[in-house]
Homo-oligomer: A and B are copies of this chain.
């Protein structure tokens, strides 16, 4: 174990008759001078251990010191010659999926990573259902219990894999959207969905792990990423931190694609953010065959424009059982490029040929025949499914365009376009551009940044600089409430075309 972001080796002058400063005060003063006179505090439980430990370690100690607002907390002390792991845990509190990463705080190394379905799914697949459930007697308590119990189970398993005890976790850093953060902290999300959409808290205090029932070290601290508003959560702050757009000279954009499109544009001088409902279609959540990415799920579709042949790729190469969000975007793009979907987003019967059938007066495109599918049923995309995707991709583009107009930046001037979020890293930018969901700014500027929420949360665990950026990022962001006025609606209508009413905006897209 070596010194790292939050770990400091301290050597004290032993007390004497001439210097009878108390044990805790002696250690805290030494740490304070290490931090240029900053206030350092310790809990009573930790102070209780100091007299014996400082003497046993001959007035040396390895100290874990974590900043809390207004001061620093001495979280734990260790034998300076000890070899045990001091771990931190980063958590991406996703509505659907929760991802954990265990980190060695001293080396910064990743120890293990795992994910599990958010157990709150049992109460409601979408966050709105959970917010309503929270209003029922005991509902909020249940929701918190589900996520905390789920985390504790996963923490135990993760630690076992990494060969450490959960008690070795001293820091937890959690990022989630505003509603998930509220449910995690047992804060009522009631007002979040009601005008004027006010969270209970934007900057939760740094917590003791025990106070919310997390089974890590009882003296451990939990840092919850702050949010900006009801529709712009800590996961986005973590994403900004990870992307680094807040540090660069040139203007860039970060898009978290999910049910909500959350967008941040800016550079080291300014950051402006907005969020808007893009609809579940982008996550593959609307089509009958839509599902989250997993083995056997279609994540890639290629259509040969000449032959009309479909080349379908699934995760793990298994027989197809459904399609995920990035697969739907691929499919729509390929259909459009092959001329099977027209500029209005409608199936072209003459080109789709016998793949197109009409049921109940609605056109359906058969993607996979019943005999080739893993479910025994054909995988189908209806015109209604496609219309839903069209509205979603139009909403996404309109949000981007509106933000750019508001700040007076052209989308084509952006130096980088970071795509994060639930499935952002799986999107093929060329497909998203082909359907006009994302602007045509050159594929080299698109950068998937993986689970930016988790990555940002993990950064805090090993970087004091990242931690210090946190509140600065939060305070610098101007949140722009999307004003769904006539201008917005006009842009939205224009964006419902493939790729757009104004094809000059998408010079690289040439459908058959």
- Report A's interface with B, CB cutoff 8 A: 15-18, 20-25, 39, 41-44, 47-48, 50-52, 69-71, 185-188, 190-191, 195-205, 207, 211-212, 227, 229-230, 479, 481
Contact = CB atoms under 8 A, between A and B. Distances in A.
Contacts of A16: 196
A200 B70 contact: no
Given A69-B71, A201-B24, A203-B25, A186 B48 contact: yes
A479 B205 CA distance: 38
A20 B198 contact: yes
Nearest to A38: B70
A25 B227 CA distance: 11
A205 B211 CA distance: 18
Oligomer copy total: 2
Contacts of A211: 44
B48 A202 contact: no
A202 B41 CA distance: 12
Contacts of A43: 205
Given A15-B196, A203-B25, A20 B229 contact: yes
Contacts of A44: 185, 187, 204-205, 207, 211-212
20 contacts: A15-B198, A20-B196, A20-B198, A20-B479, A21-B202, A22-B201, A23-B200, A23-B201, A24-B201, A25-B201, A42-B205, A44-B205, A44-B207, A44-B211, A47-B200, A48-B200, A51-B187, A51-B191, A69-B71, A70-B71
B70 A188 contact: no
B20 A191 contact: no
Contact of A191 (B21, B23, B198): B23
A47 B202 contact: no
Contacts of A22: 198-202, 227, 229
Nearest to A232: B20
Given A20-B230, A197-B20, A47 B481 contact: no
Contacts of A201: 22-25, 47, 50
A50 B204 CA distance: 13
Contact of A188 (B20, B52, B71, B207): B52
A17 B195 contact: yes
Nearest to A228: B20
A205 B41 contact: yes
A125 to B, nearest CB: 25
Contacts of A52: 188
A199 B195 CA distance: 55
Contacts of A212: 44
Given A44-B211, A51-B188, A187-B47, A24 B202 contact: yes
Q: Which of A16, A17, A20, A24 has the most CB of B within 10 A?
A: A20
Given A50-B201, A51-B187, A51-B190, 12 more contacts: A17-B196, A20-B197, A22-B227, A22-B229, A24-B203, A25-B202, A41-B70, A42-B205, A47-B201, A47-B204, A51-B191, A51-B198
> Top 5 nearest A-B pairs by Cβ distance?
A70-B71, A24-B201, A22-B199, A22-B202, A70-B70
A96 B27 CA distance: 32
Nearest to A47: B201
Given A41-B69, A70-B70, A198 B481 contact: no
B70 A20 contact: no
Contacts of A195: 17
Q: Which of A16, A186, A188, A190 has the most CB of B within 10 A?
A: A188
Contact of A187 (B15, B48, B187, B191): B48
A220 to B, nearest CB: 15
Contacts of A229: 20, 22
Contacts of A200: 22-24, 47-48, 50-51
B70 A17 contact: no
A405 to B, nearest CB: 20
Nearest to A43: B205
A101 to B, nearest CB: 24
A178 to B, nearest CB: 9
